[in-house]
Amino acid sequence: MTEYDRPFNEEDLYEQFPEGREGGHGTEAGFNTIFRLNDASLFRPELLDESNDAYIPVLSEFVKSGEEISISFVEVKSSSRESEWFLHKPHLTFDAENQKQSGGLPKDLDIAGSVDRYPGPEHAHITTLIINHEMTMARWKQSIIVMEDGKAAGQMIYKHPPPDEAKNEDRAAG
């Protein structure tokens, strides 16, 4: 029997990666957590109040955009179990809380939260853009911005260089 004759379950591949929390990159450290950014409660009210001298119009528009779209942030440890799920199965990870309950995701997967108004995996249309795809994903961490409108979603992934390499790049550029 060859490897092609055996039943293939792609989710088994993601389970071969180490969990982010094993290296200090779990939800308790701020990783693997879907967090909405265009939420008025995150900003001081005077910044959103047109009658106030501290008013910031662009910030007000950013918050108002939340009526139509949600913008969320997630940070994952690259080459971790969680990053593999986010990259290859965003239709499930964007709905993590429900998917862990229904069996779409492993119950012990260390991902917290869900994308607001996400229509669920059977109705989602998702686009993924990797900003610096030429860099390996097998490095340090990835920052992900997720935008959705209740019908379609997109994730933009930025692969961070390790801190020591980022400092060397800054020195070489300066």
**Position 6 in a domain:** no
Summarize pLDDT for 132-155 with one digit per residue, the tens: 878 776 668 999 999 999 999 999
**Position 15 in a domain:** yes
* Total count of domains within the chain: 1
Residue 155: strand pairing partners: 128, 146
Closest CA to 159 of 37, 36, 84, 76: 76
Place of tokens 């409660």: 41
d(CA 159, CA 84): 13
**Position 3 in a domain:** no
Within 49-151, where are the H helices?
57-64, 81-88, 90-93, 96-102
SS3 labels along 13-47: HHCCCCCHHHHCCCHHHCCCECEECCCHHHCCHHH
Q: What does the block give as tokens for 52?
A: 């106030």
Q: Domain containing 76: what range?
A: 11-173
Summarize pLDDT for 77-124 with one digit per residue, the tens: 998 999 999 999 999 999 999 999 999 999 999 999 999 988 888 888
